[in-house]
């Protein structure tokens, strides 16, 4: 089992370049099979979730050519099956975007029903609401979502809750439907906009992405395209918070500062220095940070995917802070691990009450999920002594070259097999 070993106490210094956005790439790869022509996608992050989705579309017959580490060509003309197996879906929930793209293109899709995951139940009802509003029949049978439509006609959908996944999935199904579709209470996240822009580059007619009303005029077919994915706002936020946690000075490059405004605002509020440039932000911290209150909200609010990183930073801030998680019902599992490092955090229902402590101390901790795991690495960066973060495969699902990028910023961190006691001993001697 691979793990990170971190020696805390070193300020991160230097520059880090952010990769393409995982959550945009997943929707875009699903959309790519909606044309019979070839699409070329650049700035694709080299992470496990993307590899699994590419395997899933290859399995049903799409042609996938990895041009280089971060560029892929996809051709969906030879798709021979509309059935996506559970072994892909169990690994990444976002395989469910193939329901929208296969239904939109072939009027048929059978995709294993995604299970819940470690942060909550992850319902699918709004996706189904969107598909049914377009005239599809959707059944959950033998653990699969079976969607079929004799024809797809534009509809008017008012989502009961703002859902990134349901917005993207319905957009996929609607772009080849007859007539106009209106999505109300649509998600406004940057990755929704990126998927819409990609579909428009293929000849779709989508207006209003990034607002809460999206209008889609169905077109007869989609054509090939060349597209580059936007930078990952959560990876960027994670490195901004790593700079702050380690009392460092880091230039985070290849970002869209507007996408980071909620994170920047909170860092400024607690006393960090943040400078915005055209496509980078610089975060500097010297001295103890202050406290604040945070509520996670849909974009442009403070995003739930940065909640663990925020709570971790506040665990050593001066004073009492409150973090309220309004999106998922079980996204504080990492707090038990922080407690083992000396944090003083009380979780009541969806709220964490954080009493800032003077310092954290290194311990063996377990990554419970992707963002919780990243937060534990930040805790290790600022803790006294050595921290071992186990279950790093969670973290590698969403962060490209995570420990390498941290090492380039001066962090004392290695990835090592838990059995490799020689390498662990060598590292500990080297950094002690």
Query: What contacts 288, CB < 8 A, 6 or more positions away?
Result: 271, 316, 317, 318
For every residue of 260-278, DSSP letters joined together read GHHHHHHHHHTT-EEEE-S
CB of residue 273 to ligand EPZ, shortest distance in Å: 27
CB of residue 262 to ligand EPZ, shortest distance in Å: 12
The values of phi and psi at residue 231, to 5°, are -65, 155
Closest to ligand EPZ by CB, 187 or 378: 187
Using CB under 6 A, list all residues that contact ligand EPZ.
23, 26, 94, 120, 122-127, 161, 163-166, 187, 303-305, 327-328, 370-371, 398
* CA–CA dist 45, 57 (Å, integer): 17
- CB half-sphere exposure, 63, CA atoms < 13 A: 12
CB of residue 230 to ligand EPZ, shortest distance in Å: 13
Tell me the two tokens of residue 396. Answer: 């590698």
For every residue of 198-227, DSSP letters joined together read HHHHTT-EEE-BTBSEEEEE--S----EEE
Beta bridge partners of 207: 215
- As annotated, the active-site residues are 117
Query: What contacts 145, CB < 8 A, 6 or more positions away?
Result: 96, 99, 109, 110, 111, 112, 113, 124, 128, 138, 139
With CB atoms as reference, the residue minimizing the distance to ligand EPZ is 165
CB of residue 369 to ligand EPZ, shortest distance in Å: 7
Q: Tokens 């054509």 map to which residue?
A: 223
* CA–CA dist 24, 187 (Å, integer): 13
CB of residue 165 to ligand EPZ, shortest distance in Å: 3
Q: In what order do the strands lie in the sheet with 344-348?
A: 293-295, 320-324, 351-355, 344-348
CB of residue 418 to ligand EPZ, shortest distance in Å: 24
Closest to ligand EPZ by CB, 305 or 390: 305
* CA–CA dist 211, 186 (Å, integer): 7
Tell me the two tokens of residue 137. Answer: 């029949």
Closest to ligand EPZ by CB, 107 or 371: 371
């Amino acid at each position: 089992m691979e793990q990170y070993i971190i020696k805390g106490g070193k300020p991160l210094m230097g520059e880090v370049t952010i990769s393409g956005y995982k959550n945009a790439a997943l929707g875009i790869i699903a959309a790519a099979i909606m044309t019979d022509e070839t699409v070329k996608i650049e700035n694709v992050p080299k992470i496990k979730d993307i590899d699994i989705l590419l395997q899933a579309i290859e399995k049903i017959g799409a042609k996938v050519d990895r041009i280089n580490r971060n560029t892929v060509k996809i051709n969906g003309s030879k798709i021979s099956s509309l059935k996506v197996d559970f072994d892909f879906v169990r690994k990444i929930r976002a395989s469910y975007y193939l329901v929208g793209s296969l239904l939109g293109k072939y009027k048929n899709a059978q995709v294993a029903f995604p299970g819940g995951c470690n942060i909550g139940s992850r319902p699918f009802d709004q996706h189904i609401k969107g598909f049914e509003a377009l005239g599809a029949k959707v059944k959950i049978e033998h653990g699969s979502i079976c969607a079929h439509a004799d024809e797809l006609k534009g509809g008017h959908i008012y989502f009961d809750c703002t859902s990134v996944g349901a917005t993207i999935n319905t957009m996929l199904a609607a772009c080849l439907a007859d007539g106009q579709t209106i999505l109300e209470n649509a998600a406004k996240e940057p990755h929704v906009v990126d998927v819409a822009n990609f579909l428009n580059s293929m000849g779709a007619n989508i207006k209003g992405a990034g607002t809460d009303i999206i209008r889609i005029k169905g077109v007869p077919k989609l054509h090939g395209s060349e597209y580059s994915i936007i930078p990952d706002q959560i990876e960027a936020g994670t490195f901004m918070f790593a700079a702050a946690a380690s009392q460092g000075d880091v230039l985070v490059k290849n970002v869209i500062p507007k996408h980071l405004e909620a994170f920047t605002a909170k860092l400024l509020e607690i006393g960090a220095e943040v400078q915005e440039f055209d496509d980078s932000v610089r975060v500097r911290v010297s001295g103890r940070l202050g406290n604040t209150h945070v509520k996670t909200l849909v974009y442009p609010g403070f995003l739930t995917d940065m909640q663990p990183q925020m709570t971790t930073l506040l665990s050593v801030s001066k004073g009492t802070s409150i973090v309220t998680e309004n999106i998922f019902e079980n996204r504080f599992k990492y707090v038990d691990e922080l407690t083992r490092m000396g944090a003083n955090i009380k979780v009541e229902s969806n709220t964490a009450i954080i009493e800032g402590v003077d310092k954290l101390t290194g311990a063996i901790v377990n990554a419970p999920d992707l963002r919780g795991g990243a937060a534990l690495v930040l805790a290790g960066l600022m803790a006294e002594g050595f921290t071992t973060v186990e279950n790093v495969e969670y973290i590698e699902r969403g962060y490209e070259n995570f420990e390498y990028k941290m090492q380039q910023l001066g962090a004392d961190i290695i990835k090592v097999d838990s059995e490799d006691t020689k390498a662990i001993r060598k590292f500990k001697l080297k950094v002690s």
